[in-house]
Each structure stands twice: as structure tokens, then as C-alpha cells.
Amino acid sequence: MSDLGFNVWGSITGVIGLVTGLPALACWLYSQMPTYNMRILDQLLAETEVVFDSAIKGGLLHGGNGLHRFNLKIWEFAWTISEEKYTPFVPGGRNYAI
């Protein structure tokens, strides 16, 4: 008997695996890119600022010193994020600012 049927089946499943595997690998690699992660971090920071401002305007948060320190912490995070955007990554070495 010939094993041609098994060879054809192996070729078909190999092509299907390749066609489905490469886009999945590309999506995973894209999700690990620093630009993608920084975009998500920017969105989360903007959402945090909106929720914080709406809570203050709605009267849910009151009490000056704690809110002032929290607002300063948000701005500190924003400053750190803006600095990190322009810092190149050197694997196994030191990061040098541009």
C-alpha cells in the first residue's frame, strides 16, 4: 500500500498550522512591543485622570492634602512616562537618553 494519503494529509495539516500559527505569533510579538505597551499606559493614565477629576467634581472625594498628593503622584507618573518614551532600550546594558 502507498502512504500517499498520509503524505497529503501531513501537507494539508502543515499548511493549516502555518497559516494559523504565523498570525498568532505576529499578534503576540506586536503585543510585546514597547510602543504598544506605552500606548496602553498612556490610555490608562488619561482614564485615571478623568475618573479622578469626575470624582472630585461629583463630590465623592474631598479633603485637600491627600487629594493634592494624589494629583502630584499622577503628574509624576505622567512625567516619568513622557521621559521613558524617548529613552532607547539597550538589552543587557545601560539606557542612554537621546
Each residue's pLDDT tens digit, 52-83: 889 888 888 777 777 888 888 888 988 888 88
Per-residue model confidence as pLDDT tens digits over 81-91: 888 777 776 66
Tracing cell 479633603 back to the chain, one arrives at 63
More confident residue, 94 or 85: 85
pLDDT at 1: 47
Per-residue model confidence as pLDDT tens digits over 1-43: 467 666 888 889 999 999 999 999 999 988 888 778 888 888 9
